[in-house]
Structure formats: structure tokens, C-alpha cells
A = this chain, B = another copy of it.
Amino acid sequence: ETRLRKYIVSPFNPRYRAWEMLLVVLVVYSAWICPFEFAFLSYKQDTLFIIDNIVNGFFAVDIVLTFFVAYLDSHSYLLVDDPKKIAIRYISTWFAFDVCSTAPFQPISLLLTNHSSELGFKVLNMLRLWRLRRVSSLFARLEKDIRFNYFWTRCTKLIAVTLFAVHCAGCFNYVIADKYPDSKRTWIGATYPDFKEESLWDRYVTAMYWSIVTLTTTGYGDLHAENTGEMLFDILYMLFNLGLTSYIIGNMTNLVVHWTSRTRNFRDTVRAATEFASRNHLPPQIQDQMLSHICLKFKTEALKQQETLNDLPRAIRSSIAHHLFFPVVQKLYLFKGVSHDFLFQLVSEMEAEYFPPREDVVLQTESSTDLYVLVSGAVDLVRYVDGQEQLLGKIIAVDTVGEIGVLYHVPQPFTVRTTELSQILRLKRTSLTNVLHANPRDAQIITDNLFMRL
């Protein structure tokens, strides 16, 4: 909505979002290839070399692009599109890291060196892992996006972290074994003495296998540290695993507790009702009524919308009420001929509620405090005479209920009971009276309408 300066892009721009998603895919590729190249490949000008440099190119473009992307100021909650401010903010935060993680160390190494200091350049290449911060901020955004299931977002994140840890640890552990002079006194060489001759696939799977056996603390022991260097790496990896495992368990516990809370509440309610019924020896038909009411209430929980509405500001609330109830209220016989403004004021004061079947909306002899508008569904009018129920009539949507009681302060002459799922608008007598006082002409029309019907 807000218009930005020329050449400045909004961070919420769909095209920019797509570009970000593309970069995340490239980051995933980088995260996998970086440790893999480090451990298993030597640098040659092959296909992989070209792909790596294309990927690097994309990130270089992104560095330039970032100077043209507005940002949300954390104090005023407004988008800042001043190029100077954008540049200052970027340079003072992540610019240096981004440049380092994009610099083409590999081509430089090929130009400058005679491959003797390969390891050093390989280590510099690992700086590309800095790019992972993008994945991290993507997950932070996905978790707040309700189009994605929270459980699966969270699980995907945990699985991604776990797999990356396994991959990295496996690769680094392989490097340690690879560089160790006595290849028989390494974790892999002790079992497979000629491991350097085996296929890349076999070596990679074995490294992953060791890594995951250690991470899950299974620890078969068929592959284990043989020299001090490996032991040190293992110590660090196992300490990290302790943290990661408890993080995974903590997350799962959190999800389980959240899931089961609804079932819990349901069970507690049903148990309380059942115990109450059995303690008081209630007859079976009342027990059944109680239980079926509780079941229906939990099934229709989503229909309780008043809470959602209450959290919204009044302006939005009143435009929702207008959109939903104006066409309905306009059609009622009671409000035929009244002014647009009058109806508008009434509608803003109305509250909608859903009633499951067989629930009493109004009880006989109760004092009339509300005017009800039946928007959908149907209700029965029931009268108790000498302890017996008498069915007086049936009302089907759209119609009003209790208008006489509210307008002439008469107690309810009958019980109103839903026969199916019904949406009912409720208007407080005090609100109605206030609006009527302010609009005497419309009040007269309503009185006429009422007499016409009677």
C-alpha cells in the first residue's frame, strides 16, 4: 500500500519474496556441498566448480540488491526507503559477513597457489556457511505463517538442523581420518584398512553412519575414535549432541502438551458431569442430555466467535457487523421502512452467537433483556403448563424473537429452543432503547410494523 521511492523495493514485494526463496534453495545446496567438498573432493576446474561459482554469483547479486530494499524500522513500525539509511544499516550489520561468504576464494586459490595451501582455502570456503542465517530467518517467518502447519514447520526445522549436524560432523570426522598419517589408527581405517580406495559413495555413507550412530547415542562401537584428535572431535560432537537431543525432546514435549490439551479439557468436563450424575443418581435420559450437550459443545467450539471479535478495534468490528448483518436485518418485517442510519446504528450494537441444536435460547418467565434475530436455523416455542411441555409454534430463519417482550417490558411468555444449529443476533434492550430515543421517527415506524403484524 505504502508507496516507496523509485528503485527501492519493499521487503514484502512478492517478487522479492520469490527471489529470497530462490536464494534459500541455493543456501540449502551450499550447506550440503560445503562440508562435502571440504571432506571428500579436491579442487579441480570441473562441473561442480562452475556450479559453485554460479551460485556465488547469485549471492553477489543479492548483496547489491540489498542496498535497494526498504526495511521496517523497529521503533516507528514504518518502512524506511531512504537509500542512505538503508546503506548505513546494511554496512554496519551484515555486509562484511555477506562479502566474506561470497568472495570467490576457490578461483583465487587456483590462480595464486600451486595447491600446497589447499587446506587453508578449503577452510576459507567454509565461510559460505554464513549464508545459513537466511534459512534460520525463513523458519522464523514460516512459524508465524498459519498457512503452514506449526507441527510440521517445527519438525522440518528440527530435521534440517539434525541432518546438517550429522552431515557436518561426518565430513569433519572423515577429514581428521583422511589427514592422519597412520591410516590404520583412524576410526574408519581400523575397520576398513584400505578405505581411501573405496568409492566416494561408500565412504560418504560410512561417515554419515558413524555420525548418526553417535548423534542418536546408539554407539554400536563398530566405528570409534582411535587417536587423540578423533577423541577430541568426538568429545565436542557428543557435547553438542546432548544439547541437540534435549532441544528436540523439549520441542516435542511442547507440541504434545499443546495437542492434548483440548482432549484433556473434554475428558475432564465429561468426567465431572458423569461423576455428578452418578453421585446424584440422575435418570439415564438426563445423563444422556448432559453428555450429548458437552460433546456438541466441544465439536462446535470453533463457532464461538465473540472472543475473536472482541480483540479487534471497534472500527473493524463495526464494518464486519455491517457486512454480515445489515442485509439480514434489512429484510425483517420489524425494520421495514426505517432509515439507513438507524439500521446502521442498530447493527453496530448486535452480537452474533451460534446455538447447537436442542439448547434453550430464552427461558419462559425470564425477564426480557434482549431482542433476538434468528439468522439461520430454526427454533421451537415451548410453554410449560403444570410441569408439562406444550409446543406452541416453530420459527424458521430469518425472523425476530422476543420483540414484544423487549419493547413492552413483558416477561418471556415461552421458552425458545433450537431444533438445529442456529445463528442468532442479540441486541440488548438498553442499546435498542438508546437508539430508539435518538430516532423518534424510526421508533414510530417500528411500533406501526409491530401492530401491523399483530
* A323 B282 Cβ-Cβ under 8 A: yes
Cross-interface CB contact of A249 among B218, B219, B249, cutoff 8 Å: B249
Residue of B nearest to A227 (CB): B202
| Cβ–Cβ contact A323 & B286, under 8 A | yes
User: Is residue A250 within 8 Å, beta carbon to beta carbon, of the partner chain?
Assistant: yes
Indicate whether A264 reaches chain B with its CB closer than 8 angstroms. yes
Other than A205-B231, A219-B220, A269-B311, give 6 A-B pairs with Cβ distance below 8 A. A78-B421, A220-B224, A220-B225, A253-B254, A286-B319, A286-B320
Q: Is the CB of B290 within 8 A of A312?
A: yes
Say yes or no: is A25 at the interface (Cβ < 8 Å to chain B): no
**How many copies, total?**
4
- Cα distance, A255 to B359, chains bound together (Å): 34
C-alpha spacing A320/B300, complex, angstroms: 24
- The 5 lowest CB-CB distance pairs between A and B, nearest first, are A218-B219, A250-B256, A246-B252, A250-B253, A221-B221
Annotate A223-241 by CB proximity to B: 1 below 8 A, 0 otherwise. 0110010011011001101
In this complex, how many residues of chain A approach chain B with their Cβ under 8 Å: the count is: 113
Q: Given A77-B299, A146-B270, A315-B363, are A209 and B221 neighbors across the interface (CB < 8 Å)?
A: no
Residues of chain A from 171 to 213 with CB closer than 8 A to chain B in the complex: 201-202, 205-206, 208-209, 212-213
Name 11 interchain pairs, CB-CB below 8 A, sorted by A: A146-B271, A221-B221, A221-B222, A258-B264, A276-B305, A282-B320, A286-B319, A286-B323, A290-B312, A293-B316, A315-B360
Cβ B283 vs Cβ A77 within 8 A:
no
A218: contacting residue among B205, B238, B251, CB under 8 A = B238
Q: Which of A35-78 contact B (CB under 8 A)?
A: 76-78
Cβ of A336 < 8 Å from any Cβ of B? no
Contact partners of A359 in chain B: CB under 8 A: 313, 315
B324:A280 contact, CB within 8 angstroms: yes
Label chain A's interface by main secondary structure.
Answer: helix
Contact flag A150-B267 (CB < 8 Å), given A76-B420, A77-B421, A247-B252: yes
Contact of A144 among B263, B293, B356, B417 (CB under 8 A): B263
A209: B residues at CB distance < 8 A:
225, 231, 234-235
Q: Is the CB of B218 within 8 A of A313?
A: no
Q: Does A260 sit at the interface, judged by CB under 8 A?
A: yes
**Is A126 an interface residue, CB under 8 A from the partner?**
no
B residues within 8 A CB of A384?
344
